Amino acid sequence: MPFGPVPPIVGIAEIIYMILNISTDPVERNMIWLVTGITFAILAVYSFFWIKFKMKMPVFKSVPLEKVMAMENSMYYKIRKRRGIWR
């Protein structure tokens, strides 16, 4: 093989252990978790407002697959803009 031997498959328990013990220093580990948590919180708030006010869609409602596929087409956004749904 050109890239060396394939590493063994790591189990879920090992992955969880590595995530929880990301550093041996407890202060550093807590800072990593704090920065990660704050980042995810900011992204969650930003995405909530983006979906609610920019996309003007319900936040916690599922979207049919046909609509998601229509969003891939560039005409979808032109039509929404023409109707005043999108700014």
Q: What is the DSSP string of 4-22?
A: -PPPPPPPHHHHHHHHHTS
Beta-carbon contacts of 33 under 8 Å, excluding residues fewer than 6 positions away, are 22
Question: pLDDT (tens digit, 9 = 90+) per residue, 17-70?
Answer: 888 888 889 999 999 999 999 999 999 999 999 989 888 888 999 888 888 788
Q: 29, exposed or middle or buried, with CB in 10 Å at 0-12, 13-18, 19+? A: middle
Residue reference for tokens 């590493």? 7
- What is the pTM assigned to this prediction? 0.60
